[in-house]
Structure 1
């Protein structure tokens, strides 16, 4: 059974978990806080980032991009299509949006909110910086407008079919939703409908059951109809 070194609210780890759940691949989960830079983590990845995936071998697959490809290469079921579109142009659009989420959305929104709300809890005397929280939430509003513009004319984020782009964005949204940083009453209906559809997939149950010590999820986090 493959093993994933992860943190429950790390969106990149969540993406790998979603992929494995979608493909019916059980995972052993080993939780670690990457911001503590513990020796055990640094031995696996000197960059102290997650996820780290162990497949059926003893070799570590380090980082989100390597893990994505490892899951797709090793675990895509033969009887269904994977999360990578077969058409080259559709696949290029998928990768464009995956990069948008993993780089731009993460660097402008998710990373700051996780650092301020979660990582700082392990630093004595540290408290979230209001100006950083405000900036991240303002950035989230702009990203939401763009995602909704896409979803207003597509069945899924990257086009007509579900793809890795949807799971990447859902992984980040689920982290933000857990922390209470998405006001769904103000989110346009196209994006609400998309998130409700992907949240209702069986693969998503593994995320909806997550709980962080001393930080319960925001109200409605596990509700399929919101």
Structure 2
């Protein structure tokens, strides 16, 4: 059985888990705190990032894009369409928006929220910086304006077919939603899309997550939120 080294609120780890769940593949999860830079982690990945995919008899797969490709290459069931579109135009739009989420949204919002609320909480003497969280919240509002515009004209983020970009955005928003940082009342189009993807069976793996000492925000696990 595949083993995934992850942190429960790390969006890239959540994206990998969504892919496995969508494809009906069971996995073993190993929770780690990558910011502690434990020797065992650094031996596998000197960058000290997750997710990392491990399988018996295979070298570890390190890095978000490498893990995503490995899952798509190895585990797509024959009877299920994969999350990488076959049509070139849709595939290009998927990659554009996937990069938007994994790079732009992460660099302007998610990584700051997780660092302030999760990483600093785990480090003695560290406290969240309100100014950083205010900027991240303002940046999230700008991103949601763009996503609202996209969902006003599309059924899924890249077009009429669900793709990996949808799961990537859902992974990030689910992490932020767990911490209570998404203002759904000002994002009706994105909220409608999130309600649809949140209702997929694959999403149960995330809605059952809980972080010790940090309960989920109200509505996190509710399909009608």
Once the two structures are TM-superposed, the CA of residue 80 in structure 1 deviates from its matched residue by 1.3
2:85 maps to 1:85 = yes
Question: Which residue of 1 is the match for residue 208 of structure 2?
Answer: 209
Cα deviation code 1:81-114 (max 9, x no counterpart): 1001110111000000000000000000000000
2:181 & 2:189 partners in 1: Cα distance? 19
1:88 & 1:14 partners in 2: Cα distance? 26
Cα deviation code 1:35-65 (max 9, x no counterpart): 1111111011000001000135331000100
Secondary structure of 1:154's aligned partner: coil
Extract structure 1 runs of 4+ deviating beyond 6 A. Answer: none
2:194 & 2:166 partners in 1: Cα distance? 9
Ranges in structure 2 where 5+ consecutive residues have no aligned partner: none
1:10 & 1:212 partners in 2: Cα distance? 12
Once the two structures are TM-superposed, the CA of residue 185 in structure 1 deviates from its matched residue by 1.9
2:156 & 2:131 partners in 1: Cα distance? 34
1:111 & 1:124 partners in 2: Cα distance? 20
Secondary structure of 2:149's aligned partner: helix
Mapping for residues 86-101 of structure 1, pairs under 5 Å: 86-101=86-101
Question: Which residue of 1 is the match for residue 192 of structure 2?
Answer: 193
2:124 maps to 1:104 = no
2:122 & 2:77 partners in 1: Cα distance? 40
Secondary structure of 2:209's aligned partner: coil
2:22 & 2:55 partners in 1: Cα distance? 17
Question: Which residue of 1 is the match for residue 169 of structure 2?
Answer: 169
Mapping for residues 1-226 of structure 1, pairs under 5 Å: 1-187=1-187, 189-226=188-225
Distance 1:56 1:73, change over 3 A: farther
Secondary structure of 2:50's aligned partner: coil
Secondary structure of 1:131's aligned partner: helix
Secondary structure of 1:50's aligned partner: coil
Under a length normalisation based on structure 2, what TM-score does the superposition of the two structures give?
0.99
Ranges in structure 1 where 5+ consecutive residues have no aligned partner: none
Once the two structures are TM-superposed, the CA of residue 32 in structure 1 deviates from its matched residue by 0.3
Alignment: residue pair count: 225
Distance 1:203 1:128, change over 3 A: same
2:71 & 2:39 partners in 1: Cα distance? 26
The two structures, once aligned, show a CA RMSD in angstroms of 0.7
